[in-house]
Amino acid sequence: MKRSIAYIVGVVFLALCSLAGAQSIGAPGPFGLVIGKTSYEEALNAAQQRNWRYQEYEKKHFKPIGKKDPARGKNTFVKATPAGMDGIKSILIFFGGESTLDAVIIMLDPKLFEDVFQQLDGKYKLVEKSLKREYLSADYPYVLWKKDNVYIELQKPGPYRTRLVYVEKALYENYREFLNKHYPRFRRTEEKRGWMDEL
């Protein structure tokens, strides 16, 4: 009797451990949108359940896509405006050719950079951090983390722009700069006066 109880307790313990392990090793999923796993239909259902207003676009030409267009969900993105989520300006949800979630870019209130950084820093493994950079150039401040095959990058491309990017590692370069505009570094022209040679 004692042996069978110990056996049952052991099996339940192992089951709980494996369940907890499976949940902890799952891919990151902002708002339940799991990178590399969530389907197009699941993502739209999640947006509708949260009462997000949204419009779908072609990835290449930014042409709006209608609700009955056969191109829906294949190499497109959905721009969602979340209701009641103070600090989030918009959420871009990207789908690949297989109608599966490739990436999520969350446009944030710039004041939230530090708070979001603190929230994510212990949660994911740090890959790279560079906070002393130049705005509006390719060298803007950012922090990059990873979990499994997903990169999570907090970016500050300008003083009034902050973005949080969730993307599959293999597609990181494709989405890192999506909609980011860079400008050449500003360098003042040197003014040379005759007396400067005597300094």
Which residue ranges make up each domain of the chain?
A: 29-176
- Tell me what pLDDT residue 176 has: 86
Please say whether the beta carbons of 150 and 126 come within 8 A: no
Cα–Cα separations (whole angstroms), residue 90 to 36, 43, 158, 183: 21, 15, 17, 24
Strand partners, 44: none
Please say whether the beta carbons of 81 and 88 come within 8 A: no
Please say whether the beta carbons of 139 and 66 come within 8 A: no
Q: How far apart are CA 68 and CA 26, in angstroms?
A: 33
Rounded to 5°, the CA angle 48-53-59 comes to: 100
Q: How far apart are CA 27 and CA 66, in angstroms?
A: 30
Secondary structure (3-state) at 5 = helix
What does pTM read for this prediction? 0.76
Q: How far apart are CA 32 and CA 54, in angstroms?
A: 17
Digit-by-digit pLDDT tens for the chain (199 residues) are: 444 333 333 333 333 333 333 334 466 889 999 999 999 999 999 999 999 999 999 988 889 999 889 989 999 999 999 988 999 999 999 999 999 999 999 999 999 999 999 999 989 999 999 887 665 556 788 999 999 999 999 999 888 889 999 999 999 988 887 766 544 444 455 556 666 665 5
Query: 93-142 pLDDT, tens per residue?
Result: 999 999 999 999 999 999 999 999 999 998 999 999 988 766 555 678 89
